[in-house]
């Protein structure tokens, strides 16, 4: 035994926060202290800003190029969130690392929250802030600096809410299913059925209210309603905030259900 | 200890059923403080299930359990603060180094100071012989190195109870010896509850033994008691000559409960299980020689080891079912 054993200060955190700080630090490290951060940043820049650059170079009008940027964000950002999130919990359940860390003084809510927060922050920088900032400069130069940074920030805020929806959804699904198929399948179908015209048309016809309670209207809308991002881009007041509130509530609900489910999981 | 119980682990009728299959039948288990308790049983006996129930990784279907006097379901957070655990197949975050893994583990137990945590980590790495590989990513580790790291992370918090599920499973003989040394060294400070298939190791370091078979407890107690249970009830007899008539003569004795031929190489060697060791000791050789034409080459009382006791208990238990 070490002579300095008494100098160590035992951890005092208890309740749902037990182990949260350490687990969060580990999750942040898994993003920022590995190559994951620059890989994600690179993919986001190539996909979002690369396509924007091509559109602008191809002579597209700034508003059309901006719209295309939103289309790619609406389709691509959820994929990044879903693929990272599903592997985070499902991969650990399969490998046995989840059982290992949960045998330590770590509460299960803290385990889920650490993953949600760390992925949420990592993806915020890689897929929202960085491409958003670059997109601002890409779009600002052809408009002679007329583009409002505040509007871009608002649009990227909607983009982030959309991302959080799919991140928390995938984390929740990963606590329910053992296979990657159902997690990826359900999350991706949900992510793409709103923007895809051939799927969204019947939804618009039979269950149009889904557009108010899901994040589909936040960024793009190929049908009747203009997306909320479009209003922000044009400097117009938002016609409704219901999709924003509903999406935020879904994120809270998904996280709550993920915590409930993992608390009942046996390893 | 939180309560006055002398037992670090105490379960009453603890059971677990998975999808209609009873993995653990009602178990009454007692492990005393500062003992090394070997947890034995064939594959699928319920050892890992018991360990997972104690750690809160699985929920009991019936019964109850207490560790340090605390309920394994209601007060598991407090239990995990005082326990070190090594799983059967330890898995860690592959991108981390051994040092980072131990630092991460230690921070679940300690808030700081950083320098003291680093010192504890270094000390633990040295203890398991990983100091020279401390800053290598785990993904390059061999099975034995992973196992050593597993032992290190299990005891980085100097736990009051160390639960090890097959700690020497993937180690070479030197690694196994080192693990046993570590366990022996730790016994002064901690209680060790470990499952294993290596019965020789259990006999070398354990104070008490718990044997499970098909999800049920079949034996529990100090190792000497268990070894004494079958002592002097088995004799070995090696003869040269007409073995068939000797065998028939011995088998006809009411106190001979079983005969097993061990080898036949010009000589025949039997292991003879008897119900009355005193009569057997006096009568076996005269009976063997009674027909003439036979030479007794060797005769003795077989010294039981844990493997014999374990196999006999499990066999007996399987016949009863």
Smallest CA-to-CA distance from B25 within B219, B310, B217, B313 is with B217
* pLDDT confidence band for B3 (50 / 70 / 90): very low
> How far is Cα A176 from Cα B181, in angstroms, rounded to an integer?
43
Smallest CA-to-CA distance from B76 within A92, A18, A10 is with A18
Mutation pick from A104, A111, A178, A266 vs chain B, by most beta carbons of B within 10 Å, is A104
Domain layout of chain B by residue ranges? 7-223, 232-302
* pLDDT confidence band for A3 (50 / 70 / 90): very low
Which residues form the domain of A203? 31-263
The superfamily CATH assigns to domain B7-223 is P-loop containing nucleotide triphosphate hydrolases (3.40.50.300)
The mean predicted confidence, pLDDT, of chain A is: 90
* pLDDT confidence band for A77 (50 / 70 / 90): very high
Q: What is the pLDDT of residue B5?
A: 47
- More confident position, B300 or A143: B300
What average pLDDT does range A7-16 have in this prediction?
A: 88
Are B109 and A10 a contacting pair at CB < 8 A?
yes
* pLDDT confidence band for B208 (50 / 70 / 90): very high
For chain A, give the percent of residues with pLDDT over 90. 63
Are A11 and B92 a contacting pair at CB < 8 A?
no
Alpha-carbon separation of residue B64 from B10, B56, B61, B115 (angstroms) = 9, 12, 9, 41
Neighboring chain A residues of B77 at a CB cutoff of 8 Å: 14, 18, 105, 107
Q: What is the pLDDT of residue B270?
A: 92
Q: Does A146 touch chain B (CB under 8 A)?
A: no
Q: Does A225 touch chain B (CB under 8 A)?
A: no
Residue A16 placed within a domain: no
Q: Give the distance from residue A77's alpha carbon to the nearest chain B alpha carbon, in angstroms.
A: 25
Identify the residue whose tokens are 């009382």: B301
Q: What is the pLDDT of residue A224?
A: 55
Q: What is the pLDDT of residue B203?
A: 84
What average pLDDT does range A118-138 have in this prediction?
A: 95
Q: What is the pLDDT of residue A145?
A: 63
Q: What is the pLDDT of residue A89?
A: 92
* pLDDT confidence band for B123 (50 / 70 / 90): very high
What average pLDDT does range B97-120 have in this prediction?
A: 95
Q: Give the distance from residue B1's alpha carbon to the nearest chain A alpha carbon, in angstroms.
A: 17
Region for B20 from its dihedrals, namely left if φ exceeds 0, alpha if ψ lies in -120 to 50, beta otherwise? left
Q: What is the pLDDT of residue A129?
A: 96
Ranges A22-36, A89-103, A201-215, B171-185: which has the least confidence: B171-185
Neighboring chain B residues of A20 at a CB cutoff of 8 Å: none
Cβ-in-10-Å burial (0-12, 13-18, 19+) of B95 comes to middle
The pLDDT tens digits for A14-26 are: 889 999 999 999 9
Q: Does A2 touch chain B (CB under 8 A)?
A: yes
Are B112 and A34 a contacting pair at CB < 8 A?
no
β-strand B191-195 against B161-165: which pairing, if any? parallel
Ranges A185-189, B47-51, B194-198: which has the least confidence: B194-198
Radius of gyration of chain A (CA): 21
Are B113 and A25 a contacting pair at CB < 8 A?
no
> How far is Cα B215 from Cα A165, in angstroms, rounded to an integer?
44
- Mean pLDDT highest for which of A6-20, A213-227, B230-244? A6-20
Neighboring chain A residues of B87 at a CB cutoff of 8 Å: 96, 99-100, 103
Point out the residue among B108, B116, B119 whose CB comes nearest to the CB of A105.
Answer: B108
Residue A12 placed within a domain: no
Of all residues in chain B, the one with the smallest CA distance to A104 is B80
Q: Give the distance from residue B16's alpha carbon to the nearest chain A alpha carbon, in angstroms.
A: 12
Q: What is the pLDDT of residue A161?
A: 97
Neighboring chain A residues of B52 at a CB cutoff of 8 Å: 266-267
* pLDDT confidence band for B223 (50 / 70 / 90): confident
Residue A89 placed within a domain: yes
Alpha-carbon separation of residue A50 from A46, A47, A228, B178 (angstroms) = 5, 5, 24, 57
- More confident position, B4 or A51: A51
What average pLDDT does range B195-211 have in this prediction?
A: 87
| B153 has a pLDDT exceeding 50 | yes
> How far is Cα A93 from Cα A87, in angstroms, rounded to an integer?
9
* pLDDT confidence band for B149 (50 / 70 / 90): very high
Bridge partner list, B241: B294
Domain count for chain A, please give it.
1
Q: Which residues of B touch A (CB under 8 A)?
A: 52, 55, 57-59, 77, 80-81, 83, 85, 87, 89-93, 95, 104-105, 107-113, 116-117, 119-120, 123, 158, 189
Residue A26 placed within a domain: no
Q: What is the pLDDT of residue A222?
A: 63
Q: What are phi and psi of B17, to 5 degrees?
A: -120, 130
A189 C-beta neighbours (distance < 10 Å), count = 11
Report the residue count for chain B.
321
Alpha-carbon separation of residue A134 from A47, A108, A142, B174 (angstroms) = 12, 38, 14, 58
- Which DSSP state fits B97? B
Residue A22 placed within a domain: no
| A5 has a pLDDT exceeding 80 | no
Of all residues in chain B, the one with the smallest CA distance to A96 is B91
| B67 has a pLDDT exceeding 90 | yes
Q: What is the pLDDT of residue A41?
A: 96
Residues 6+ apart with CB under 8 A from A253: none
Residue A118 placed within a domain: yes
| A12 has a pLDDT exceeding 50 | yes
Fold of B232-302: Alpha-Beta Plaits (3.30.70)
What average pLDDT does range A114-136 have in this prediction?
A: 96
> How far is Cα B14 from Cα B23, in angstroms, rounded to an integer?
11
Are A103 and B92 a contacting pair at CB < 8 A?
no
Q: Give the distance from residue A86's alpha carbon to the nearest chain B alpha carbon, in angstroms.
A: 16
Q: What is the pLDDT of residue A223?
A: 59
């Amino acid at each position: 035994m070490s002579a300095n054993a008494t100098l160590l200060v035992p951890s005092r955190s208890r309740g749902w926060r037990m182990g949260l700080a350490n687990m969060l630090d580990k999750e942040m490290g898994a993003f920022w202290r590995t190559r994951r951060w620059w890989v994600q940043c690179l993919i986001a820049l190539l996909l979002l800003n690369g396509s924007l650059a091509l559109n602008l170079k191809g002579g597209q009008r700034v508003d059309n190029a901006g719209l295309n940027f939103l289309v790619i964000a609406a389709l691509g950002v959820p994929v990044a969130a879903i693929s990272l999130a599903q592997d985070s919990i499902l991969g650990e359940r399969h490998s046995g690392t989840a059982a290992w860390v949960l045998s330590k003084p770590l509460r299960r809510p803290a385990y889920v929250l650490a993953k949600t927060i760390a992925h949420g922050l990592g993806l915020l920088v890689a897929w929202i802030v960085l491409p958003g900032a670059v997109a601002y400069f890409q779009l600002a130069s052809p408009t002679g600096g007329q583009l409002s940074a505040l509007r871009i920030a608002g649009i990227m805020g909607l983009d982030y809410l959309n991302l959080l929806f799919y991140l928390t959804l995938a984390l929740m699904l990963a606590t329910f299913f053992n296979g990657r198929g159902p997690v990826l399948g359900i999350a991706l179908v949900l992510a793409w059925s709103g923007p895809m015209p051939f799927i969204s048309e019947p939804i618009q016809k039979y269950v149009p209210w889904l557009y108010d309670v899901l994040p589909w209207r936040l960024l793009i809308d190929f049908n009747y309603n203009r997306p909320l991002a479009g209003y922000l881009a044009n400097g117009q007041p938002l016609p409704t905030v219901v999709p924003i509130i509903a999406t935020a509530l879904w994120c809270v609900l998904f996280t709550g259900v993920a915590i409930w489910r993992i608390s009942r999981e046996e390893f | 200890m939180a309560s006055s119980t002398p037992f670090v682990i105490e379960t009453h009728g603890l059971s677990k059923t998975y999808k209609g299959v009873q993995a653990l039948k009602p178990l009454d288990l007692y492990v005393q403080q500062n003992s090394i308790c070997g947890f034995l049983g064939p594959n699928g006996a319920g050892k890992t299930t018991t360990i997972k129930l104690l750690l809160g990784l699985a929920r009991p279907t019936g019964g109850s359990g207490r560790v340090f006097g605390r309920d394994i379901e209601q007060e598991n957070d407090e239990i995990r603060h005082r326990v070190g655990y090594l799983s059967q197949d330890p898995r860690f975050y592959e991108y981390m180094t051994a040092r980072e893994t131990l630092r991460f583990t230690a921070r679940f137990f300690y808030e700081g100071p950083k320098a003291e945590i680093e010192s504890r980590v270094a000390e633990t790495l040295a203890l398991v012989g990983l100091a020279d590989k401390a800053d290598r990513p785990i993904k390059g580790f061999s099975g034995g190195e992973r196992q050593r790291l597993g032992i290190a992370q299990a005891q980085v918090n100097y736990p009051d109870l160390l639960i090890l599920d097959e700690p020497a499973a993937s180690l070479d003989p030197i690694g196994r010896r080192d693990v046993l040394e570590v366990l022996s060294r730790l016994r002064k400070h901690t209680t060790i509850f470990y499952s294993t298939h290596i019965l020789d190791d259990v006999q070398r370091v354990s104070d008490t033994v718990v044997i499970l078979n098909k999800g049920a407890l079949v034996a529990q107690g100090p190792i000497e008691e268990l070894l004494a249970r079958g002592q002097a009830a088995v004799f070995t007899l090696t003869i040269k000559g007409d073995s068939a008539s000797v065998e028939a003569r011995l088998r006809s004795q009411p106190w001979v409960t079983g005969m097993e031929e061990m080898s036949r190489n010009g000589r025949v060697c039997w292991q003879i299980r008897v119900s009355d060791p005193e009569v057997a000791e006096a009568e076996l050789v005269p009976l063997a020689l009674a027909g003439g034409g036979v030479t007794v080459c060797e005769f003795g009382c077989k010294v039981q080891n844990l493997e014999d006791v374990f196999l006999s208990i499990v066999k007996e238990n399987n016949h009863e079912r």
